[in-house]
Chain A
Amino acid sequence: MRHRALLIAATSVVFLSCCAGAEAQQQVIGAPPEAFNMRLVGSNDLQARSAYQPTIHHQGDRWIAYIGHHGGTDAVPAPLNPITGKAEPNGTSILDVTDPAHPQYLRHIPGQEGKYEGGGAQMVRVCDGKALPKGDRNAVYMLRTFGSEAHEIWNVAEPANPVLITRLGGLKDTHKSWWECDTGIGFLVSGAPEWRTRRMTQVYDLSDPAHPLKIRDFGLSGQEPGATGAVPTELHGPISAGPEANRVYFGYGTNKGGILQIVDRDKLINGPKEPTPDNLRLPEISRLNLSAFNGAHTTFPLRGMPIAEFARDKDGNSRDIVMIVDEAILNECNEPRQMVWFADVSVESRPMMISSYTVAEASGSFCERGGRFGAHSSNESMAPVYYKKMAFIAFFNAGVRALDIRDPYHPTEVGYFIPSITAATDKRCVTIDGKDRCKVAIQTNNVETDERGYVYIVDRANTGLHILELTGAARGVAGLR
């Protein structure tokens, strides 16, 4: 009996010290950011709008950030735009970040009314008219989603005064698309009404943005209209390696049952277009099924990577790698860990997972902090400054993590930055015994880089945009002075 009392007492001490320590990790307003080898250069609150995808575009002598937003919140469905003085549903923020220390908010283009993933305009890509085969040379085109119902193309040559060019409507859902600026081919994540999945691909020729041409619908066999039986995991997003490489890498799944699908781009665009099972299978070269525990949000190709360790090998000293990033969707670790995976796809018929990366949970008691902890997305810029050297991973309440990926068999964290929360940072809740218990934590949602080497992170919990630069040893990894 005495033993039992001692055991309970000891357990309680462990329990209390565990939770007291975790409590100390809770973010508080006014506390400094947490950082290692990364430094805050500038920030903007983005009108306290939940942010998804930043795209940074070099436009003349200016650098412009286009940032897609999720829908509003229960508390504030349509935040105030101080420029217009009106409450506007979340859409696209446009900022001049030429001076990254002082970002200038230029314009907000409202999106679809709705809350969270039910509204907004979360995705954005940008191509110069002079790069597109049939574009207006004086135009700069911004492709964005309009909530869950359309894709739109705007002329943003004057970023403060965008002009709507085209609208592709009638969809059920949208997500993160890819647009090849040199060919104009767009791989648009859509929800065509007759398809059995919420998200699939619609391939468009957007080389003349004023006159979009539909090429075909595409997805995994079993998702097409009229199919029966099990429905394969829905699409999250594709990334094309372009016509020369002739590959498109599709990621399916969010936090479960992920699939990396490697597709022959030419067969996809020029093959038979009717969505029959055979026609859908024809362009597929191979697929890599992830564990049921992990999804595939981002599938970022890193082709032709020289591997130092293999340098003296007669064969296989250069590898084609795909970095796969899962998406955590549940707060406070109520799901298997969503993280980063590296697949060697050099032998395309036999893609193989070779390494992984996650933030060490204990390094910040991240399961206790509130909100999501886990990976979401990576930067997708292929500009030389970081490509095949460093990757930046949005990791929700663990901020952004800078990885040295020069040896993708052994990716190594070399820096991180967790922004401070502000009064605008929204709460995140879990249900315990039928009641909501909420905490406030940063939710770094997405990340992008520019050719100058600045790192742009945006927050899902309304904290805004943070522009960062590498410091210390991490700069050396990228070859920056």
Chain B
Amino acid sequence: MPLIAFAVSIGMLSGVAGYQHAPPDLEGWREIAWPFARDGWPAGRAFRCSSQACGEQIEIYLRPKIGFCNCDSGVADDDEVDRVADLDLISERFVPVEPGHPIQLADMRGRIRAYELTMGDRSRRVAVGVVVSRRCDLLVAVAQGNGTASGVQRLALEFLGSGDVSRWMLAAMSGQ
């Protein structure tokens, strides 16, 4: 009996792993390797949509950040988005375009805010940071592109709201 239980648990783990790496159900998007060096949080998932498919090339990076001390206040303000939305992985130099606003993703509440980034070669890009929370944990996403902030935001929200991505976010926040 223990042998069977063990084999079943291994099978379940494989199933979870397979599910977690399934491609998103949105046409034009494909998963790419996590493009950043290791930092304090485990690597997440990265996706790209080409300009042919999305009208402009856009990349989005998302990952859970499990374990914060401020468990009750959630994503309280725009400063929280500035601090945790992984913008600094793309560039340490970013300026908000406007105040952020509340958002709900996969039944988690948080905030979204648009930024202008200055890259190492001084070129400019736009980015949108999204942070939602559940209890003491965060799910963060940052999307970047060359177009307008509103365009990046629209594409990012469309992607994040898709069924596969929502399911993955919920699974990731549940320790799967």
Whether A and B are associated in the same complex: the answer reads yes
State the CA gap A16–B6 with chains docked (Å).
10
Q: Which residue from chain A places its CB closest to the CB of B65 in the assembled complex?
A: A256
User: Which chain A residues in 81-127 approach chain B with CB under 8 Å?
Assistant: 114-118
A8 touches which of B3, B83, B88, B176 (Cβ 8 Å)? B3
A212 an interface residue at 8 Å Cβ cutoff?
no
One of A155-163, A270-278, A430-438 contacting the partner: A430-438
Q: Which of A231-253 contact B (CB under 8 A)?
A: 231
Check B175 against A15 for contact (C-beta < 8 Å): no
Q: Is the CB of A12 within 8 A of B2?
A: yes
A228 contacts B83, C-beta separation under 8 Å:
no
- Those 6 A-B pairs whose CB atoms lie nearest each other, nearest first: A256-B40, A434-B174, A292-B40, A230-B88, A118-B72, A230-B92
B67 and A329: CB pair below 8 A?
yes
Residues of B contacting A12 in the complex (Cβ-Cβ under 8 angstroms): 2-3, 6
B127 to chain A, nearest CB (A): 12
Interface of chain A: mostly helix, strand, loop or mixed: loop
Closest to A118 in B: B72
Contacts of B87 in A (CB 8 A): 230
Q: Report yes or no: A432 in contact with B175, Cβ–Cβ below 8 A.
A: yes
A residues near B (Cβ < 8 Å) are: 8-9, 11-12, 15-16, 114-118, 173, 196-198, 228-231, 254-257, 292-293, 329-330, 334-335, 430-434
Contact A229 B40, beta carbon cutoff 8 Å: no
Partner pick for B72 among A114, A231, A335, CB 8 A cutoff: A114
CB distance from A72 to the nearest CB of B (A): 12
CB-CB contacts below 8 Å: B134-176 with A: 174-176
The reply to whether B66 and A254 contact each other, CB–CB distance below 8 Å, is no
* CB-CB under 8 A for A231 and B82, given A118-B73, A292-B40, A431-B175: yes
Q: Which residues of B contact A (CB under 8 A)?
A: 2-3, 6-7, 38-41, 66-73, 79, 82-83, 87-88, 92-96, 174-176
Query: B71 contacts which chain A residues (CB < 8 A)?
Result: 116-118
State whether A115 touches B6 (Cβ < 8 A). no
- B72 engages A116 (CB within 8 Å): yes
Q: A12-B3, A335-B67 in contact; A292/B175 too (CB < 8 A)?
A: no
Contacts of A257 in B (CB 8 A): 39-40
A457–B130 Cα gap in the complex (Å)? 41
B92 contacts A229, CB within 8 Å?
A: yes
Residues of A contacting B40 in the complex (Cβ-Cβ under 8 angstroms): 256-257, 292-293
- Known contacts A11-B6, A116-B71, A230-B94; 20 additional CB pairs below 8 A are A8-B3, A12-B3, A15-B6, A114-B72, A117-B70, A118-B73, A197-B79, A197-B83, A228-B93, A229-B94, A230-B92, A231-B79, A231-B82, A255-B67, A335-B67, A430-B175, A431-B175, A433-B174, A433-B175, A434-B175
Complex: A115 Cα to B82 Cα, angstroms? 26
Considering only CB atoms, which chain A residue lies closest to B92 in the complex?
A230
Q: A434–B176 contact, CB under 8 A?
A: yes
Which residues of B lie under 8 Å from residue A335 when comparing CB positions?
67
Q: Whole-angstrom distance between the alpha carbons of A230 and B86 in the complex?
A: 9
In the complex, chain A residues whose CB is within 8 Å of the CB of B93: 228-230
Q: In this complex, what residue of B is CB-closest to A195? A: B79
Say yes or no: A16-B175 contact (C-beta < 8 A), given A117-B70, A198-B70, A330-B67: no
CA distance A116 to B72 in the complex (A): 9
Which secondary structure dominates where chain B touches chain A? Answer: loop
Shortest CB–CB separation between residue A373 and chain B, in angstroms? 14
24 residue pairs A–B, Cβ–Cβ below 8 Å: A8-B3, A8-B6, A9-B3, A15-B6, A116-B72, A118-B70, A118-B71, A173-B70, A196-B82, A197-B83, A228-B95, A230-B93, A231-B79, A231-B82, A254-B69, A292-B39, A292-B40, A293-B40, A329-B69, A330-B67, A433-B175, A433-B176, A434-B175, A434-B176
Within the assembled complex, what's the spacing in Å between the Cα atoms of A477 and B67? 38
Please name the residue on chain B nearest to A257 by beta carbon: B40
Bound CA span A402–B171, Å: 41
What is the CB-to-nearest-CB distance from B111 to chain A, in angstroms, rounded to a whole number? 14
In the complex, A11 Cα to B73 Cα: how many Å?
A: 44
Cα(A11)–Cα(B2), bound, Å: 11
Q: Which residue of A lies closest to B118 (CB)?
A: A229
State the CA gap A9–B3 with chains docked (Å): 7
A434–B167 Cα distance when bound, in Å, is 12
Cβ–Cβ contact A231 & B6, under 8 A: no
Residues in B with CB closer than 8 Å to A256 are: 40-41
B174 touches A330 (CB 8 A): no
Q: How far is A257 from B38 in the complex, measured between Cα atoms in Å?
A: 12
Question: What distance in Å separates the Cβ of A204 from its nearest Cβ neighbour in chain B?
Answer: 23
By beta carbon, the residue of chain B nearest A430 is: B175
A29 smallest CB distance to B (angstroms): 27
| Most chain A CB within a 10 A radius of its CB, from B67, B88, B93, B96 | B67
A431: nearest chain-B partner, CB-CB: B175
A197 to B76: give the CA distance in the assembly, Å.
12
Tell me the bound Cα distance from A255 to B175 in angstroms. 19
Chain A residues with Cβ below 8 Å from B67 are: 255, 329-330, 334-335
Q: Which residue of B lies closest to A234 (CB)?
A: B83
A196 with B70, Cβ < 8 A, contacts A228-B95, A256-B40, A292-B38 known: no
- In the complex, A428→B93 CA distance in Å? 39
> B7 to chain A: which residues have CB within 8 Å?
8
**Residues on the A chain within 8 Å of B72, using CB:** 114-118
Expressed in whole angstroms, the minimum distance between the Cβ of A89 and any Cβ of chain B is 14
Chain B residues within 8 Å of A118, by CB:
70-73
